[in-house]
Structure 1
Amino acid sequence: TGEHPRIGAADVVPFVPVSGVTMEDCVQLAHDLGQRVGEELHIPDYLYEEAATQPERRNLADIRKGEYESLPEKLKDPHWKPDYGPAEFNPRTGATVIGAREFLIAYNINLNTRDRKLAQEIALNLRESGRAKRDETGQIVRNPDGTALKVPGRLKAVKGVGWYIDEYGIAQVSYNLTNYKVTPLYRVFEESQKEAGKLGLRVTGSELVGLIPLEAIKQAGCYFLEKQGKTAGVPEEEIIHIAVKSLGLDDLGPFDPEQKIIEYRFQERFGPLAKMRLWEFSNELSMDSPTPGGGSAAALSGALAAALVSMVANLTYGNKKYEQHWDAVKPLAVKAQELKDRLLKAVDRDTAAFDAVMDAYRRPKKTEEDQKARENAIQQATKGATGVPLEVMELAFETLQLAKTAAEKGNVNSISDAGVAALMALSAVEGAYLNVKINLGAIEDNSFKTGAETKAGEIRKKAMELKHEIWNLVEKNR
């Protein structure tokens, strides 16, 4: 089937920021690995893309030029001295390219034609590298060095080619999005639709090859929601559903987010408690085990408050009667969804934190060393069990602040919902406060105790005052 370009046995090692890590972190990792590969394994290596030390080394294809076979001569050229490792050819290993780059999305557009040439025409017009420029006679215009002069395409950080897929009986435009933050998925789709229309074609859907970051598919879902005159302040599942249907990602077969979204493949979005049905969670809460308990219940109360705020915002946005408040309630819905999800995660985190305290108490205490280790574990676990409800207090207070905006500027027919949101948010603050207080009694670190107690007290006081302000608004407008 052909040979993949390469300059060594371990040809390329990219670090890609997906979640919880920055590009700067990945650049540092590339340098750290490059140094170790060079010093410990004595393999010459080059840094590319965001980790490149020279502009001409950003592009992987430029570093690979000539491939493994030309590497002995390349290493003799001072211009191509490795970033790390010896400038010596090792026939067993070759060289390695290490770098940091954005996630590459392999994305195909489906067309209602079998004609590969028409698909290629779309690719040439859109891909960043574009096409060769031609003169009036149809001849390729060339640069002084003999290379073809290019007319660039419209989409930056996009590579593309047209081909025919016998399995599906259609032509596709096959794209690689090398940086979806520069050119997002939805723009590739819509520009392809425009080009297809010029050729009398129709885009029937699209296909993702491999995995996609959550952020990239949410970008698309939010974009299409806003085109429909709606806010992006809806559950994550709905955003993804809208993206799948708008892009036609299920055109050639079912699209399973659990299998296609990279974050979903490696981590559960919510814990076992948050995924329970209402009656299951209520039953679990009623049993004679200490967890889940009041801390988890407080977090759930906060999540319900945030959900109500989002509902009020969504019932207001798009309603002509409240057009003057659209700019205020649009971000309100989005922020409320974020708080809702964080508070739902806290339902399980609170239980896990308490379980960690119980595990610490079960540690052996036969020797003096055991006793010290056990006491240290208890103290650390209890601080963790204090931190979760303290965070719940902060999130619930943020929700209260949103509830006030909802009461002030939201649809008056939903004013009671804003009021219930305020009550539920205050309940979350008060419930979490009780959990902070009971845990502080077992902590010996006075500095930690004072800081946590002061912070919790301030949040509680402000929350109670804010609840009264919201209640007055509700009473005034109902």
Structure 2
Amino acid sequence: MPDDPIVECVPNVSEGRDRAVIAALAASIRTVPSVRLLHVDPGHDAHRTVFTFAGPPEAVADGAIALGHAVAAHVDMRRQHGAHPRVGALDVCPFVPVRGVSLARCAALARRVGATLAHDLDVPVFMYEAAAFDPSRRALPLLRRGEYEGLSGKLADPAFVPDFGPARPHPRLGAAIIGARPFLIAWNLSLDTADVSVARAIAAQVRESGRVTLDADGRPVRQPGRLRAVRAVGWGMPAYGHAQVSLNVLDFRVTPLHVAYRAVAEQAAVVGARVIGSELIGLVPLEALREAGRASIGAAAGTLPDAALVDAAIEALGLGAVTAFDPSTRVLEWALQGQGAAPHRAVDR
């Protein structure tokens, strides 16, 4: 029904290269009735796949549990290395309210999933953002610090006793981070250079947390970055032949996409680089692209339909220049109206 509650789940799994494994993981989500797998986005260099599925709250939680069991059957962190930071096989699994659902309910779903997977798989589980039990452990970067290789030391620290499961890493699965949050836009901007240090320098200038410098007395001082509600890192993408500034836009109403794009482009110009295109990971809310389209078109945008605004946003943000971008399957509201990801989507890149 049009007004039924809908929750989105966007798990990030530490496998982006084995097509058969990615297809098996996607199939596990499809086994849950009333859950719709909307998109599967594997990344070879990141060695990571982002799955996006949605449906009734409890069914979506069941889909995450089914995926967790499939991940345990197919992914081995002892052999996994990629550009993206990770702490485990089911690295992060957020629940996002879409319609008729509160963030608090999503947090309750996340805690059910965390408790279940910790019990079933004997894996340590941390809760984050709105699902965190400890307010000091809400932030994902804090929980992921040290990555899979540093888990033994982290779990030995009383400050990082897991919320569920054993206080020791699972040898194959590492740990899992599960939570609830508002919509986040994962977005990579590609540069006309393969120099990762350039991408990292740009990321340090634009992310809200900024960078650490030394004052006149040699003491470390944090210099805030340009963009509020934005996290950023720089990394190399050998498969593409260039470096990227990878952004997490935590709230596109605080920092719209066109503002973030302009900031990255300006900082790139300072170091003699240029943004040549961008790619969105997973799905994006319609309003985020509407806003970018309006900014691109100007005063005349008020008379244009959504499709024209989205087309203008795609052009202005360089979407499709790096990988294909089909708005009918990548805009959340439009994807929910369609049939979801076709079975072969898991192996496309």
How far residue 39 of structure 1 moved from its aligned partner, in angstroms, is: 5.8
Whose radius of gyration is greater, 1 or 2?
1
1:224 maps to which of 282, 296, 304: 296
Report % sequence identity. 44
| Equivalent position of 1:187 in the other structure | 259
2:338 maps to which of 243, 254, 268: 268
**Higher relative contact order (CA closer than 8 Å, sequence separation 6+):** 2
How far residue 8 of structure 1 moved from its aligned partner, in angstroms, is: 4.9
The separation in 2 between residues aligned to 1:234 and 1:205, in whole angstroms, is: 25
Aligned 1:135-150 pairs, distance under 5 A: 141-143=218-220, 149-150=221-222
**Secondary structure of 1:16's match?**
strand
Task: Kindly provide the amino acid, as one letter, of the partner of residue 131 in structure 1.
Answer: R
| Equivalent position of 1:432 in the other structure | none
How far residue 48 of structure 1 moved from its aligned partner, in angstroms, is: 0.7
How far residue 252 of structure 1 moved from its aligned partner, in angstroms, is: 4.3
Aligned 1:35-434 pairs, distance under 5 A: 35-38=115-118, 43-67=123-147, 78-85=158-165, 95-111=175-191, 118-134=198-214, 141-143=218-220, 149-162=221-234, 172-199=244-271, 203-225=275-297, 228-232=298-302, 234-252=304-322, 255-268=325-338
**Secondary structure of 2:259's match?**
helix
| Equivalent position of 1:294 in the other structure | none
How far residue 20 of structure 1 moved from its aligned partner, in angstroms, is: 5.0
> TM-score scaled by structure 2?
0.58
Residues 301, 309 of structure 2: 8 Å contact kept: no
Encode CA deviations 1:190-233: one digit per residue, 9 max, x unaligned.
222333444565545433344323332223223434xx113545
Encode CA deviations 1:418-446: one digit per residue, 9 max, x unaligned.
xxxxxxxxxxxxxxxxxxxxxxxxxxxxx
Residues 12, 97 of structure 1: 8 Å contact kept: yes
Classify 1:198/1:52 alpha carbon distance in 2 versus 1 (closer, same or farther; 3 Å): same
RMSD over aligned Cα, in angstroms? 3.9
Classify 1:182/1:54 alpha carbon distance in 2 versus 1 (closer, same or farther; 3 Å): farther
Residues 56, 62 of structure 1: 8 Å contact kept: no
Encode CA deviations 1:61-91: one digit per residue, 9 max, x unaligned.
3234455566566556554343345657766
Residues 18, 213 of structure 1: 8 Å contact kept: no
Encode CA deviations 1:355-403: one digit per residue, 9 max, x unaligned.
xxxxxxxxxxxxxxxxxxxxxxxxxxxxxxxxxxxxxxxxxxxxxxxxx
| Equivalent position of 2:342 in the other structure | none
| Equivalent position of 1:17 in the other structure | 97
**Secondary structure of 2:209's match?**
coil
Task: Kindly provide the amino acid, as one letter, of the partner of residue 328 in structure 2.
Answer: E
Higher helix share: 1
The separation in 2 between residues aligned to 1:112 and 1:73, in whole angstroms, is: 39
Unaligned runs of 5+ in 2: 1-44, 46-80, 340-349
How far residue 49 of structure 1 moved from its aligned partner, in angstroms, is: 1.6
Residues 206, 251 of structure 1: 8 Å contact kept: yes
The separation in 1 between residues aligned to 2:258 and 2:214, in whole angstroms, is: 31
Classify 1:77/1:264 alpha carbon distance in 2 versus 1 (closer, same or farther; 3 Å): same
> TM-score scaled by structure 1?
0.45
How far residue 188 of structure 1 moved from its aligned partner, in angstroms, is: 0.6
Classify 1:30/1:240 alpha carbon distance in 2 versus 1 (closer, same or farther; 3 Å): same
**Secondary structure of 1:82's match?**
coil
The separation in 2 between residues aligned to 1:88 and 1:202, in whole angstroms, is: 44
Task: Kindly provide the amino acid, as one letter, of the partner of residue 311 in structure 2.
Answer: H
